[in-house]
Every structure is written in C-alpha cells, then in structure tokens.
Chains A and B, each alone.
Chain A
Amino acid sequence: KNQVEQSPQSLIILEGKNCTLQCNYTVSPFSNLRWYKQDTGRGPVSLTIMTFSENTKSNGRYTATLDADTKQSSLHITASQLSDSASYICVVRGSTLGRLYFGRGTQLTVWP
C-alpha cells in the first residue's frame, strides 16, 4: 500500500535553533517528492521539489534531502524564526497516473 509517514507529529523549538523533520514513504513507482508549508488558516505552499536523481535541495534556510533507495526524505530548518511556525507536509507523487500521496504533516511551533 502506498503511504507517506511523517515524524514527529508535532515539534516545539526555540527561536534560532535548528530542526529536522522526517518523511518516509512506500510509494512506488516514484516520480517526485515535495515539501509544503502551511501557515495557520492558509493553503499549503510549495517549499521544494525533489526528483529521483536529487539528493539535496535548498531554499533559503530550508534544506531538503532525499534518499530514494531507503525512501526517506528530511527537511532541515536552520536558525528557526517565529514565522517558521506552521504545518509541514510531505507529498509524494507516484509515476503511475501521477497520483499524489500526502503525509499528515508535522506541526512546528517556534517559541521566542
């Protein structure tokens, strides 16, 4: 069964600290993996997209990694800011019919 599992479910960190969010998937065949950020009361916004051949991709303070062999991805946030408080959703696209599989998200709270 194609699934996407995210951990932790929720996370609280202090402003300025780093953190890493995890995404494990079983989707096969795999097309790409995308991390979305969803602020409270808003729709998700794409942060990064990674394809099979990419290991690391950065977007400012956000760095995503992908290990296609172990079917794991991580999102690392450096020097966290209060505005990083949001839900982070991992979405995997299967290459069969382009179906999307959503993780349940990690709720990140950054405290001052």
Chain B
Amino acid sequence: DVKVTQSSRYLVKRTGEKVFLECVQDMDHENMFWYRQDPGLGLRLIYFSYDVKMKEKGDIPEGYSVSREKKERFSLILESASTNQTSMYLCASSFFRGNNEQFFGPGTRLTVL
C-alpha cells in the first residue's frame, strides 16, 4: 500500500519565519511533487523532482525552494514566510514510467500570521 506522509497536518508560523515542510514516500518513486491548494484555484504545482538532487520549477515557484537529498524525501522550504503563503500544501509521488498515477499525502495546512 503506497504511503506518502507529511511531517505536519497543521502548522502556524509568523511572517518572516523560515518554514520546512517534509514529505516522505515509501514506494521507491522517482518523481515527487509539491502543490498548494487554495479555494477556487485548485491544485497548483510549486516544484517537482524526478531524481535525487534534481528539481524543476512548477507554475508558482516564487517564494519557495526545495531539497531532495534522498529518494524518499522531498522538502519544501519557505525562506521567509508571508501571509499570502497561507494555504494547504500537498505532496505527491509517482513512478517515472507507467501511467504516472500520483499518490498524495494528507496535506499540511499552513497558516502564516
């Protein structure tokens, strides 16, 4: 059974803080993704990675960075959190080949005050 876990379900941070969101998958997937989900906007891709130490910008990378030091772990970093980064953050993973079904984690609801 595929499992994607995220380090926190709820997180409250202050403006200007550095924030780390961690994601771990246990299916040996090559691809990992970070999305944010906002009401009325759906899921938007922030960054993705198709291999260790590789990263690619998605549609809305501004204000974010990522790190993938190990295959199973993909971290999203907010260098200086701002109130407009208050959102639900979803991590996903998939195999590089095949039908590319993405398996999602439960999400982290981040509030920046």
Q: Knowing A43-B105, A43-B106, A45-B104 are in contact, say whether A102-B99 is a contact too (CB < 8 A).
A: no
Alpha-carbon separation in the docked complex, A100 to B99 (Å)? 12
- Contact between chains at A89 and B101 (CB < 8 Å): no
- CB-nearest residue of chain B to A103: B42
* Closest 9 pairs (CB-CB, A-B): A43-B104, A104-B42, A102-B43, A102-B42, A44-B104, A43-B105, A46-B101, A43-B106, A43-B90
Q: Which residues of B contact A (CB under 8 A)?
A: 4, 40-45, 90, 92, 99-102, 104-107
Counting chain A residues whose Cβ lies within 8 A of the other chain, the interface size class is 10 to 19
Q: Which residues of A contact B (CB under 8 A)?
A: 32, 34, 41-46, 49, 89, 93, 98, 100, 102-105
Chain B residue numbers with a CB within 8 Å of A32 are 99
- Contact between chains at B90 and A98 (CB < 8 Å): no
Alpha-carbon separation in the docked complex, A40 to B48 (Å)? 24
Chain B residue numbers with a CB within 8 Å of A103 are 42
Alpha-carbon separation in the docked complex, A49 to B107 (Å)? 23
